[in-house]
Amino acid sequence: MRSDNIKKGLERVPHRALLHATGLSRKDLDKPFIGVATSFTDLIPGHVGMRDLERYIERGVCYGGGVPFFFGVPGICDGIAMGHLGMCYPLALREIVADTIETVCNAHSLDGIVCLTNCDKITPGMLMGVARLNIPAVIVTAGPMLSGRHRQKKLAFVHDTYEALARAKRGDISPEELVCLEMEACPGAGSCQGLYTANTMACITETMGMSLPGCGTALAVSAKKRRIAQASGERVVEMVKKNILPLDIIHTGSIKNAIVVDMALGGSSNTVLHLMAIAHEAGIKLGLNTFDHISKYAPHITNLEPAGPHFMEDLEYAGGIPAVLKRLKEKLNNVMTVSGRKIFDIADEAEIFDEEVIRPLNKAYHKQGGIAVLTGNLAPDGAVVKQSAVSPKMMRFTGKARVFNREEEAMQAILNRKIKAGDCIVIRYEGPSGGPGMREMLAPTSAIVGMGLSESVALITDGRFSGGTKGPCIGHISPEASACGPIAALKDGDVIEIDIPQRKIGVKLSLPEIQKRLRNWKPIPPKIKTGYLGRYSKLVSSADKGAILG
């Protein structure tokens, strides 16, 4: 065992003394040492219920014959960080999480690890960490939140808070109703109820084979989630004994499966960044073209918030990810999972309980998958849009640029009714380096919807979008403005053309004109020059490479 490095031999007397100081017995030294990386925090709704799941993971590790060691991993709530300087941190946190997993496990020679996670950047950070470490690992995502209720109507976080505040600004709802929505939209523990980034990552982690079957959609408050947590603790000990490693599970075939399911669900556009980063840690080459290629043959068969009426609880009750795998079996690779079972075996045993929540392929909501990759003279290296959340009317759009160098400037213009039908909002200097941290634009995109402009206004940015975003919102524009990308050359009134079916995004300017403007370009000084984000800004790659650190 790896842990023999710290517990066997005469020269390890001091090490054993320290281990005994933690309460370990002599007998414990003969057992596998299992790390339990937990991102519990009182700050995040998706994580406040983890203390309970920690008990069940601990029980499982002990039942399996291992010794559990808990250590903390930092977490950020993207929703609370949204719309201010705090949103510079979540994507950068992903790298801290991966580094923490590597550091603690290698420093203590742990034999295996269970990662207890849930929210947006923490789950991919943990996957990156275990891929880099390549020691036996199981991921436990803590589960989705139940829907809220107001006057018998189901509520979801994004629709009934971010979009509601703009509706209140218009006078469509009363201050009293807004307070009710604020109190009831998030009724308790769990990741936000729609197919936003946290839940998308949970679903594709299960698809990739790194979580036990059913984990991705099992609700945060359910006994089922407890049982999965306990089984995960038991399973990781067995994996240590059989030397089953993450890179036996994470490979080209499983990554492609994850993309197929992501497209079929209509998941968050953030998964493009995260899957490329996970692939990088696993030594797999993965480019934007793979996402677009798979999108063209993987139909969109579920219609969950924010694009549609269904919630994560509906997907769970319809059969969860095993049922989705059953529906998509012909498009998947039959790969091994941490459960010890292959994907096809899981799919064959699954049942589909709701044909509307998980539609047959011939009755898909859209023939193509949820994400499209666009290119053109505005995004030579690519841009990303969640096309499943764009109405047919807005799949093609031509409008005049309204250029902003910060998200806050655009938000004020939207709420103060300075944005009109036919405008194309441009928010730049929000990329991985220029942001820094590639802030999500949920506040302005939700305000566009709430102000009744979602059918007449587009938004483009070198930043990114929340999984809760809907409408013609194109992000990840590469190169970013701070790297002298073409988006830096835009001026108010320039005509922007978006054609999602043809995968095109451009500005009606000649190449010589763009080059002339860029020659006269003067970069905006970085918003943050010190601390972790100052270092991150200098090291991070572009969005089309996954915003990874070099």
Residue type, 25: S
Are residues 345 and 338 in contact, defined by beta-carbon separation less than 8 angstroms?
Answer: no
Kindly report the backbone phi and psi dihedral angles of residue 20, in degrees, each rounded to the nearest multiple of 5, phi listed first. -65, -30
Are residues 386 and 269 in contact, defined by beta-carbon separation less than 8 angstroms?
Answer: yes
Are residues 154 and 311 in contact, defined by beta-carbon separation less than 8 angstroms?
Answer: yes
Q: Which of 254, 339, 466, 537 is catalytic?
A: 466
Query: Cβ-count burial of 512 within 10 angstroms (0-12 exposed, 13-18 middle, 19+ buried)?
Result: exposed
Strand segments, DSSP code E, in 15-162 are 33-38, 67-72, 112-117, 137-141, 148-150, 153-155
Dihedral sign for Cα atoms in the order 385, 93, 441, 264:
positive
Instruction: Determine the Cα–Cα distance for residues 440 and 91; give it in Å rounded to an integer.
Output: 9
Contacts of residue 355, Cβ cutoff 8 Å, sequence gap at least 6 = none
DSSP state of 319: T
Instruction: Determine the Cα–Cα distance for residues 506 and 513; give it in Å rounded to an integer.
Output: 13
Contacts of residue 506, Cβ cutoff 8 Å, sequence gap at least 6 = 376, 377, 378, 496, 497
How large is the angle between the packed helices 163-170 and 407-415, nearest 10 degrees? 40
Instruction: Determine the Cα–Cα distance for residues 261 and 246; give it in Å rounded to an integer.
Output: 20
**Active site (annotated) includes residue 232:** no
- Helix, strand, coil share of the chain (percent; to 5): 45, 15, 40
Cis? peptide before 444, omega within 30° of 0: no
What are the residues facing 382 on neighbouring strands?
Answer: 478
Enumerate the active-site residues.
466
